Amino acid sequence: MAPNTELIVTNMHRNFTGVSATATAVVQQQAERYRMRLAGRALPECPEPVSLWRAIQLSRAPAQGRSHVLWHVRRNNEMRAALWARDVMKLPIRIVFTSSAQRRHSAFPRWLISRMDAVIATTEEAAAFVPNVEAIVHHGVDTNRFCPPQDRAAAWKQTGHPGNFGIATIGRIRPEKGTDLFVDTMIRLLPDLPNATALIIGKATPAHRSFQAELQRRIETAGLSQRIIFTGEIAAARLPDLVASLSLLVAAPRYEGYGMTPLEAMASGVPIVAGNAGFFASFVGDNKAGTIVEKPEAAALATAALSILGNPMELALKGGNARNRAIEQFGIASEVDGIHKVYETLWDRG
């Protein structure tokens, strides 16, 4: 029986992270396009994964009509595994790495990246920090999975959270993600919006539980424990409905390589208020789909949020613009097509 695997996509992280989310959207599309296998950990609504050892076995000979088996990796441990298979086991593998970091990598990751056959950078800024860049391909969002509800007020009511509408931040609870900035912003904002509830969607790892506890004390002191709610991590399958129920997303990370949660909100018709991190300014497009705050401080974020939420026409306009920009400029199909061109280049090299 002829080998039939042309692509291995790795996911070797036990937690569902931002990298996992971007990989999931791509793999769901790629599963219909290639003779592929997911290796490592499961991803939502993706093919069942095989073990790393099984992926190596499947890579001993390329699929019919292909010069090599491509391994698409996104993390340091995945690069190491692919390099072992290619350089130590001498398998007919070529390795593609996606890089979104907009800062200089430390020495060992730099060496790993230098050994890749091709690098896909998610932005022009990210491309400046890595070698072997074959293409710049922006991450995309599945605009069928993340889409506006028929009735946002009813969707919010269905969540079971109090109030008439919701504001949220999404991501790990830690200083880098600006969770404390969101809390301080909501403490300033919510007294002016008595019908709003704020959600902090994500979990704190053990290293950041004391950080979360301090934020909870801050919220209690402000008398807002019933209106600023830590939801914990939300399962990937449930997240689209929750995002679609929101009226505004606030994203104020201190560092972000790219950032998918604003795109997911935009695809759901939810405008964003964000600091100028990651690729956020390009998402919003001259503040058409929300507001970029150059200095993400609580007072400025609260002012920007109130300007949108306090004006129903502005909220509707920016929500509509957000959905349109997500479809027209950041759809998942564009990302998958951009990646495919890199794959074809490697296969064509023979």
Q: What architecture (CATH level 2) is domain 7-140+331-348? A: 3-Layer(aba) Sandwich (3.40)
Place of tokens 């929101």: 246
Tokens of 3: 């080998």
Tokens of 147: 């889409």
Q: What is the arithmetic mean of pLDDT over 235-251?
A: 96
Whole-number pLDDT of residue 41: 96
**278 pLDDT more than 90:** no
Domain 152-329 listed as CATH 3.40.50.2000: yes
Domain residue ranges in the chain:
7-140+331-348, 152-329
Q: What is the arithmetic mean of pLDDT over 89-116?
A: 94
Lowest mean pLDDT among 120-124, 164-168, 221-225, 254-258: 254-258
**178 pLDDT more than 80:** yes
**257 pLDDT more than 90:** no
Q: In Å, how far are 8, 58, 68, 89 from 3, measured between CA atoms? A: 13, 7, 11, 18
Whole-number pLDDT of residue 3: 63
Q: What is the arithmetic mean of pLDDT over 275-300?
A: 93
Query: Can you tell me whether residue 71 is helix, strand or coil?
Result: strand
pTM assigned to the model: 0.89
- The per-residue pLDDT for range 181-216, each reduced to its tens digit, is 999 999 999 999 999 999 999 999 999 999 999 999
Q: What is the arithmetic mean of pLDDT over 158-168?
A: 97
Whole-number pLDDT of residue 51: 97
Whole-number pLDDT of residue 188: 98
Whole-number pLDDT of residue 2: 46
Q: What is the arithmetic mean of pLDDT over 70-81?
A: 97
Tokens of 328: 């027209």
Intrachain domains 7-140+331-348 and 152-329 with the same fold? yes
Whole-number pLDDT of residue 288: 93
**65 pLDDT more than 80:** yes
Which residues are registered as beta bridge partners of 40?
A: 11
**350 pLDDT more than 80:** no
Q: What is the arithmetic mean of pLDDT over 338-343?
A: 97
Bridge-based pairing of strands 228-232 and 196-201 is parallel
Whole-number pLDDT of residue 143: 95
Q: What is the arithmetic mean of pLDDT over 221-241?
A: 95
Instruction: Tell me the pLDDT of the chain averaged across its residues.
Output: 95
User: Quick one: 50 exposed, middle or buried, by C-beta within 10 A (0-12, 13-18, 19+)?
Assistant: middle
**1 pLDDT more than 50:** no
Q: Cα separation of 83 and 112, whole Å?
A: 8
Q: What is the arithmetic mean of pLDDT over 215-221?
A: 97
Contact 40, 10 (CB under 8 A): yes
Q: What is the arithmetic mean of pLDDT over 232-260?
A: 94
- The per-residue pLDDT for range 299-312, each reduced to its tens digit, is 999 999 999 999 99
